[in-house]
Structure 1
Amino acid sequence: MADPTDPARDDGPRHSAPRAPGTLRIGSIAGIDVLITTSWFVVAALISLTFGPRIEAAQPGLGFWRYVAGFAFAVVLYLSVLLHEASHAVVAKRLGYGVNSITLHFLGGMTEVDGQSKRPRHEFWIAVVGPLTSIAVGVVAGLLVRVTPDGLLDEALFLLAGANLLIGVLNLVPGLPLDGGRVLKALVWGASGNQHRATIVAGWGGRLTALALLAWPLVQEQVTDEPPTILDLVLVFILGLFLWTGATAAMAHARLRQRLPALVARPLARRTLTVPEDLPLAEAVRRAQEAQAGSIVTVTPDGTPVGIVSEAAVTAMPAERRPWVAVSAVARTMEEGLTLPAGVAGEDLILAISRRPAEEYLLVEADGQIYGVLSTADVDRAFRDNARR
């Protein structure tokens, strides 16, 4: 359903993100992990209990099995939600973006796509395909109702049609974090040329939607002749809170992204001293201090970098042991993702760090020459300073 992430082109190697606590992997679609949260079992039980009486009315005599049928309906319903999310993921991949996972949870589903869109039309198509898929499922289920004999299957198709049409229409409401909010963002972005301004507009759409939803119980009886129940109030509060917090987070991220272009790796790099792997640590530290270098990189005899010396490991090493320890003992081996172009900046820098978390990264020029070492602590400090301005 709602997708609180914005997609971005995956320009480098990706590594599987750690699975969030409370999630289970149930399979994959087009190489994308499909996860389910433990909260899903709660909503599946609620669906089973809620629709049990309707199932009994459609197929009398089921007894306890009506709740089993209700649980089966919950599974089918979430398979349609999975189809909604898979459509987001497939279109994103077709447009060249990296997709990390699809997660089914209490409020529906979420597709985790790397970063943010590069073009308004990409934002539009990735967002709109989800609601259109749900509406299509609802229409097909509705047509099948017309040719299905009365009974349990007919009732299940009727409920499935109604649920998917509701999901599709509600997700087209123009406010973040709903898909309709991303559609609005794409339209404003295309018209204004300013992605961040478009996110703010769509975020306000989400906030107004949340306020309208929270106000619904005040007018529900006048509109439907039915007073709101405790369950209605709880659902309205949960959904309103979800919309408000999602919209607010999107607006805050947009304001931060406006400052990202000022975050450049090159001026943040520390001067680097290259040393042989077998050099005693004490001698390596002495040479670095003499050269006023803020970092040390170990290299092979032909100058190929093989490790970045960890500042934390050097500090933890007692001074009396340093003459007897090779500098390679406190160096992190150069792995994939630890070497970045010296000119990396803005969101590309943040994405590179998030893909391969580490304390230090080696910055190299286009010709392969070592420029310096970038410390994550320095990036964090610069990011906070930019956010305060």
Structure 2
Amino acid sequence: MPAPSLRLPGLPPIRISGATLVMVAVITLLVAPGFRIIPGITSAGVLVLSLAVGVSLVVSVALHEIGHALVARASGAHVDHIALTLWGGHTTYRARRVGSLPSVLISLAGPAVNLVIAVAAALAERAAPGAGSSHLLTMISSLNWALAVFNVLPGLPMDGGRALESLLGALLPSPRTATRITAWIGRVIAIMVVAGPLLAALRFPGSTSLILVLWGVMIGMMLWRGAGDALREAGLRERVLALRAGDLMVRIPLVRADAPLTSLPSGAEDPSAAAQPADATDRGAPHLLVLDPSHGVGVLDEQALASVPEPQRPAVPTGAVTTWLGAPGRLSEDLSGEDLVEAVQTQRRAVHLVIGDSGEIVGVVTTAMIDRALQQG
């Protein structure tokens, strides 16, 4: 079941996970003891004020993500959606090429919003009419300070880690090295997030909440997993940038559909025959392609081919024993990196003909070959 979406004018859809309610409940339980010290407050008052803190945290996270989204959009990126989850939130956007400075600004926009909220709540607290509202504003200010500081820590997947990754990526020879550095900093932070509450619980067993310990463990696990995801994404991006149609393609025989079976290259009916290109099968390419203006491209149906008697083969066109795959895609031999991946995704074809500088077909690339290249390494 998809998460419900909140749509506000001028903003991308905001998807609200049901687990957000768990975050509200946890924050409500954690801050409730701070309200019980207010003189004369009732249990209902404690619940209302604590719940208000939990809801304000969700609103603060939403504003944090909206900050990311607005700066990303201003930088030329397409913002798909904002998601509010158990762990806070994230903004999904697509940008083919964003410079280091815009990337840093996108990353730091969220913490900057929390900083503004923290200062505004602190100023409003001075004019609060009662102890309850004063304490509520203090809590909101403190939580937003914590969000701002936590998110600018220089390790992935935090915003500060992404900003540092962008800066290092502009300075170091390999962007993947920048990701490795910031991801491992993120993993050290994850260990500290888990160890902090655990050590506090061991040293002060009566004053450390079990909920805080469990929450720290869960957040630490989330950070560790996020750092690992960043490392995998960096490896994938590196492999994408290394792709080139001319390097991926294989040169295989191309046969017209109206050509008689006797015109097939030697060994065409046997994919393991010596006449087959050495790397075609190993790289997931067909051993021969049949071309037809109406049907596109196809591969030989070996059983149908074997059923045609030898004397009749001069009169049987190759198209009669072909399994058609539809119209092929077309890729320039020099197409590479993200441009190559985008072209393949846009054309949505299983087989792509690689076109040389003079317009002739110089080879074949299949989607399976590209997937295999991306999975290696």
TM-score (structure 2 length as normaliser):
0.72
Deviation string 1:187-211 (CA, Å, 9 cap, x unpaired) is 3233334322211111121122122
Say if 2:172 is the partner of 1:192.
yes
Structure 2 CA distance for aligned equivalents of residues 216 and 58 of structure 1: 32
Partner of 2:340: 349
Contact conserved, 1:272 with 1:295, CA < 8 A, in 2? yes
Q: What is the one-letter code of the residue matched to 2:374? A: F
Shift of 1:74: 3.4
Shift of 1:179: 0.8
Shift of 1:124: 1.4
Within 5 A, what are the aligned runs for 1:233-272?
Answer: 233-269=213-249
Contact conserved, 1:59 with 1:152, CA < 8 A, in 2? no
Partner of 2:93: 113
Call closer, same or farther: CA 1:59–1:168 in 2, change over 3 Å: farther
Identity of aligned residues (%): 27
Partner of 1:122: 102
Structure 2 CA distance for aligned equivalents of residues 355 and 89 of structure 1: 25
Call closer, same or farther: CA 1:223–1:61 in 2, change over 3 Å: closer
Structure 2 CA distance for aligned equivalents of residues 285 and 163 of structure 1: 77
Shift of 1:176: 0.7
Secondary structure of the residue that 1:32 maps to in structure 2? coil
Shift of 1:365: 6.5
Partner of 1:36: 16
TM-score (structure 1 length as normaliser):
0.70
Structure 2 CA distance for aligned equivalents of residues 289 and 226 of structure 1: 84
Which residues of structure 1 form unaligned runs of 5+?
1-20, 301-306
Deviation string 1:319-347 (CA, Å, 9 cap, x unpaired) is 99xx9x9999965578xxx6655433234
Partner of 2:62: 82
Within 5 A, what are the aligned runs for 1:200-219?
Answer: 200-217=180-197, 219=199
Call closer, same or farther: CA 1:24–1:147 in 2, change over 3 Å: same
Call closer, same or farther: CA 1:130–1:290 in 2, change over 3 Å: same
The number of residues matched between the two structures is 346
Aligned-residue Cα RMSD (Å) equals: 4.4
Partner of 2:83: 103
Q: What is the one-letter code of the residue matched to 1:343? A: D
Shift of 1:167: 0.4
Within 5 A, what are the aligned runs for 1:1-389?
Answer: 23-27=3-7, 30=10, 32-51=12-31, 60=41, 63=44, 67=47, 71=51, 73-114=53-94, 118-150=98-130, 153-217=133-197, 219-220=199-200, 227-269=207-249, 294-295=288-289, 299=293, 331=325, 341-353=332-344, 359-361=350-352, 374-385=365-376, 387=377
Shift of 1:381: 2.0
Q: Looking at CA atoms only, which structure, 1 or 2, has the larger radius of gyration?
A: 2
Structure 2 CA distance for aligned equivalents of residues 58 and 363 of structure 1: 78
Contact conserved, 2:49 with 2:136, CA < 8 A, in 1? no
Which residues of structure 2 form unaligned runs of 5+?
269-286, 308-316
Deviation string 1:217-260 (CA, Å, 9 cap, x unpaired) is 35436998974332122112112112222222322333444444
Structure 2 CA distance for aligned equivalents of residues 229 and 62 of structure 1: 20
Secondary structure of the residue that 1:109 maps to in structure 2? strand
Shift of 1:105: 0.6
Taking CA–CA contacts closer than 8 Å with sequence separation of 6 or more, which of the two structures ends up with the larger relative contact order?
1
